[in-house]
Structures are given as structure tokens and as C-alpha cells.
Amino acid sequence: MAYFDTGLLVIQGQPIKIQEITVDASRDLSPIYSSDSKDPDEIRDGRKTVNFTIKRALDHGRMSEYYERGCEFTIILYNNDVKPPQKVMTLERCKLGKDSIGNFDGSDAVIQDLDGQATIRKNYLKDARRPPVNVC
């Protein structure tokens, strides 16, 4: 299901232009077996992780500085298709674990990839609005 087409990322009240962000939440699952069965009796929830990847932050090196200093921050993602922009997700207590910049070979634009983790993901996608359709 497509929620919206354009998004807005805000950190510390400042919008940051990015090319792309991906947020992956996952949870370890542990099957519980009894001695008389090959099939699990239940599946228990385990640890949850929230990973994110940002491709090409156009922020004059601000995200790289967060990486270098080991800063903790909050990311707020907005649906930018509607006016005013609508909050769709909050990633809290974020830290960056990777800041990769390359290729410097002249064949294409230099890309920055940032990988990080958040401890909390608050999801507001169920409330996401679609922009009105222009009917001619």
C-alpha cells in the first residue's frame, strides 16, 4: 500500500533534505517446543530492533558530525503531500553506526549512506492522509 509520495525529515526542529530513508523494524522470534512434538507450541517475542538507512543527506555535513561525535537524536518523518505536512513516524534515541561516502571517480554524483539504530519507533501511518485528487 502506498501511503504518500514525498516526505520530510526533521531533526532538532530543522528539516533535512535527503534522497531516501528506509526504516526496518524487526523482532527476534523464538519457537517453544515441548518434548513430544516437532511443531512449536508457541512463538515468543524476543528483542526488537529499529534500523534506518539514509541515502544522501543534503545537510552540509551535519549528519556526519552526529556520527563523529556519537550524538543521540530524534528523527521525525512527515507526509509532505498534504498541507500542512503530517507526522507519520518518530524514531527516538537514534545513533549512527555507519557514515559512508563514495565513489569519488567522476562517473556519478558522490553518494553518502548513513546507517543507524533507534530505540523507539512511534508509527502514525494509520492516520496518513492522501492529498485530494484534482479532477478536471
Residue pair 89/121 in contact (Cβ under 8 Å)? The answer is: yes
List per-block mean pLDDT (blocks of 10 residues) for the chain, which spans 136 residues: 68 84 92 89 92 86 92 90 86 94 76 92 77 57
pLDDT of residue 90: 93
Distance CA 21, CA 134 (A): 28
Name the strand (E) or helix (H) holding 63: helix 62-69
pLDDT of residue 1: 45
pLDDT of residue 120: 95
Q: Which residues pair with 77 in a beta bridge?
A: 9, 89
The alpha carbon dihedral of 11, 99, 60, 70 has a sign of positive
Q: Which residues pair with 7 in a beta bridge?
A: 79
Q: Strands, E, within the chain: which ranges?
A: 7-11, 14-32, 42-58, 73-79, 86-102, 111-118, 120-123
For the whole model, what pTM was predicted? Answer: 0.78
Cα 13 from chain centroid (whole Å): 17
Radius of gyration of the chain (CA): 19
